[in-house]
Amino acid sequence: MATIRDLTYDLLRRNGITTIFGNPGSNELPFLQDFPSDFRYILALHEGVAIGIADGYAQATGRTALVNLHSAAGTGNAMGGFANAWNSHSRLVVTAGQQTRAMIGVEPLLTNIDATTLPKPLVKWSYEPARAEDAPLAFSRALHLSSLPAAGPVYLSIPYDDWSKPAEPESLRLLERAVFAAGALSAAATAALAAHLDRSVNPVVVLGPDVDAARANEHAVRLAERLKAPVWVAPSAPRCSFPTTHPNFRGLLPAGMASLSRLLEGHDLVLVAGAPVFRYHQYEPGPLLPPGAELIQVTCDPDEAARAPMGDAVVGDVGLILAALADAVGEAARAAPQPRETPPRSAPGARPLTAERVLDLMNELAPPDAIYVNESTSTIEAMWERLRWEKPGSYYFGAAGGLGFAMPAAVGVQLAEPERQVIAVIGDGSANYSVTALWTAAQHNVPVVFVIMRNGTYGALRWFAGVLNAKGVPALDVPDIDFVSIAKGYGLEAERVDDDDAFAAAFTRALRAGRPTLIEVATAWPTP
């Protein structure tokens, strides 16, 4: 008779999940014993790194990834990763080992007390089976829930003595289940929405990460071209859903009410697809929309639709809806948008380099289909202005506003996309949150190129201190960190550069190396 452990591994196989990301402890060993030869375990040295790698992998593949954490302590270490996964609609099943059922009542060491409450509200569902025989159904439910719209992380706490118990024969039915979501609009609803767009005098399109997640970028392009509408990316976007080289592309919207509204002035209809309305950051009071404008949101997330403070919303499959609209709208008679003004190429010769110069060099030297994973928060606007992102899945950024996402996510994205080069652009402040991801990259020979932009300060915090007029703030500098030595200690090739020629040479070598490498580049903090 199959054990619960045997049935769970068969269930994972049935759902195409044979990679597990994690950092296990004693409670997890009974699940991992006699580890199946057709599975692989990607070990991270910290739980936050484990969930970050899995998040990058899940986003890049568009499939559910499995994360294995250790009880309450491991879950706590991974909470920043839960926040990113929740905001990115990442398909994760996160498991944590619970103490044996025989002792849970006396709360011994490593008991996950109130296990189902611990990860809330950053999961779609959190569960601990009432009896061992319910574990396979719990796993099946978690796998389906993680991918049903709106996708997101789910959490299972499993007592470690459950795995050896016999599975109930009827549980085998779980292996044959398939669950699908159907989110297309009816023909009448599509026609009505298309007619609304056709009546617009000067529409504008705002795209968010769920367009890229649905791989609906080409439909967004077709729709924008037929409407002859400019395209903005929603504020604080963690993905790029429209080619940055397209003449309709305008850039990244600011995360303040007044600034965003000013940029949309003159438009009578704002179509927002695959994004919240809107994810603001700095407090900048002003109108939610410019005078005379109305807004329509297309989203996969009912919560995003319900909490929007203005406009109408349509909840469904973002990709299917955009494809249908692109087919249904008429060819607008107005003139097409003129290409935006792009910044001039940065001048060579500065020492240390400007961040803009580093980005220009990367853009010239990297493959056209390179993937960028960003956590250089003070250079976000420059990246959107200067880098060439033309294919789906070309850009990833932490969606929750915290640090520690990009280094592990880059490893996960590269595991998912071995044919494309992943370049992680990391600030020297950000890098310290998840630097152990370098070890995992080295152990599995994941050929990410890590570029550390070292300016010795938390650049985004310095900028925000100016926004808030907060003077005399301590702890904004991070001097004297040797990332080259750290990287070499974890097993990477690494070097330090501080001028154009040295960076170009090091970056070219890294692209050709076929193994993980790190370049620490001295960059200047811009003078206000």
Tokens representing 404 are 């520690």
How is domain 187-328 classified at the architecture level of CATH?
A: 3-Layer(aba) Sandwich (3.40)
Q: Please report, as a single letter, which amino acid is at residue 100.
A: T
Q: Considering the entire predicted model, what is its pTM?
A: 0.95
Cα–Cα distance measured from residue 425 to residue 379, given in angstroms and rounded to the nearest whole number: 10
What would the pLDDT profile of 25-52 be if each residue is shown by its tens digit? 999 999 999 999 999 999 999 999 999 9
Phi, psi of 385 (to 5 degrees): -80, -30
Q: Of 47, 375, 495, 520, which one is the catalytic site residue?
A: 47
Class for the domain spanning 4-176: alpha beta
| Displacement of CA 229 from its chain's centroid (Å) | 27
What pLDDT score was predicted for residue 480?
A: 78
What pLDDT score was predicted for residue 230?
A: 98
Q: How many CB atoms lie within 10 A of CB 126?
A: 20
Q: How many CB atoms lie within 10 A of CB 38?
A: 8
Tokens representing 284 are 């900048």
Q: Of 62, 76, 183, 401, which one is the catalytic site residue?
A: 401
Q: Check if 4-176 and 355-522 are the same fold.
A: yes
Instruction: State the Rg of the chain over Cα.
Output: 24
Class for the domain spanning 355-522: alpha beta
Q: Of 16, 26, 485, 489, which one is the catalytic site residue?
A: 26
Q: Is the confidence at residue 69, as pLDDT, over 60?
A: yes
Q: Is 246 a catalytic residue?
A: no
What pLDDT score was predicted for residue 416?
A: 98
478 vs 185, higher pLDDT: 185
What pLDDT score was predicted for residue 525?
A: 67
Question: 299 pairs with which residues across the strands?
Answer: 315
What pLDDT score was predicted for residue 471?
A: 64
What would the pLDDT profile of 413-442 be if each residue is shown by its tens digit? 999 999 999 999 999 989 999 999 999 999
Q: Is the confidence at residue 85, as pLDDT, over 70?
A: yes
What would the pLDDT profile of 295-328 be if each residue is shown by its tens digit? 999 999 999 999 999 999 999 999 999 999 999 9
What pLDDT score was predicted for residue 61?
A: 98
Secondary structure element (H or E) that encloses residue 517, with its range: strand 517-522
What would the pLDDT profile of 178-215 be if each residue is shown by its tens digit? 998 988 999 999 999 999 999 999 999 999 999 999 99
State the residue for tokens 């050709």: 512
Secondary structure element (H or E) that encloses residue 335, with its range: none
Residue whose C-alpha is closest to residue 119's, from 91, 89, 81? 81
Tokens representing 323 are 């494809």
State the residue for tokens 């403070």: 309
Cβ proximity of 112 and 101 under 8 Å:
no
| Displacement of CA 4 from its chain's centroid (Å) | 33
What pLDDT score was predicted for residue 105?
A: 86
Q: Is the confidence at residue 473, as pLDDT, over 80?
A: no
Q: What are the structural domain ranges in the chain?
A: 4-176, 187-328, 355-522
Quick one: what percent of the chain has pLDDT higher than 70? 95
Q: Is 47 a catalytic residue?
A: yes
Q: Of 22, 25, 56, 74, which one is the catalytic site residue?
A: 25
Q: Is 401 a catalytic residue?
A: yes
Cα–Cα distance measured from residue 492 to residue 511, given in angstroms and rounded to the nearest whole number: 14
Residues 6+ positions from 75 with CB-CB distance below 8 Å: 47, 69, 94, 96, 112, 118, 119, 155
Tokens representing 88 are 């990115």
Beta strands of 27-138 (E only): which ranges? Answer: 40-43, 65-69, 92-98, 125-127
Q: Is 126 helix (H, G, I), strand (E, B) or coil?
A: strand
Cβ proximity of 107 and 114 under 8 Å:
no
What pLDDT score was predicted for residue 470?
A: 61
Cβ proximity of 9 and 36 under 8 Å:
yes
Q: Is the confidence at residue 464, as pLDDT, over 60?
A: no
Q: Is the confidence at residue 528, as pLDDT, over 60?
A: no
Q: Of 28, 304, 375, 495, which one is the catalytic site residue?
A: 28
Cβ proximity of 145 and 125 under 8 Å:
yes
Q: Is the confidence at residue 99, as pLDDT, over 90?
A: no
What does pLDDT average to over the chain?
93
Cα–Cα distance measured from residue 439 to residue 421, given in angstroms and rounded to the nearest whole number: 19
Cα–Cα distance measured from residue 406 to residue 408, given in angstroms and rounded to the nearest whole number: 6
Question: 490 pairs with which residues across the strands?
Answer: none
Cβ proximity of 205 and 168 under 8 Å:
no
Cβ proximity of 187 and 149 under 8 Å:
no
- At residue 446 the predicted structure's pLDDT band, cuts being 50, 70 and 90, is very high
Tokens representing 144 are 């389906």
Residues 6+ positions from 149 with CB-CB distance below 8 Å: 181, 183, 300, 301, 317
Residues 6+ positions from 522 with CB-CB distance below 8 Å: 352, 353, 454, 455, 496, 497, 498
Q: Is the confidence at residue 451, as pLDDT, over 90?
A: yes
What pLDDT score was predicted for residue 468?
A: 59
Residues 6+ positions from 345 with CB-CB distance below 8 Å: 360
Q: Of 46, 70, 89, 144, which one is the catalytic site residue?
A: 70
Cα–Cα distance measured from residue 135 to residue 3, given in angstroms and rounded to the nearest whole number: 11
- The predicted model gives 331-351 an average pLDDT of 88
Distances (CA, A) of 240 to 69, 236, 314, 408: 30, 11, 21, 19
Cβ proximity of 49 and 434 under 8 Å:
yes
Residues 6+ positions from 310 with CB-CB distance below 8 Å: 277, 288, 289, 295
Beta strands of 73-200 (E only): which ranges? Answer: 92-98, 125-127, 154-159
Cα–Cα distance measured from residue 412 to residue 57, given in angstroms and rounded to the nearest whole number: 4
What pLDDT score was predicted for residue 458?
A: 57
- The predicted model gives 381-391 an average pLDDT of 95
Distances (CA, A) of 115 to 65, 107, 127, 285: 21, 12, 8, 40
Cα–Cα distance measured from residue 146 to residue 136, given in angstroms and rounded to the nearest whole number: 15
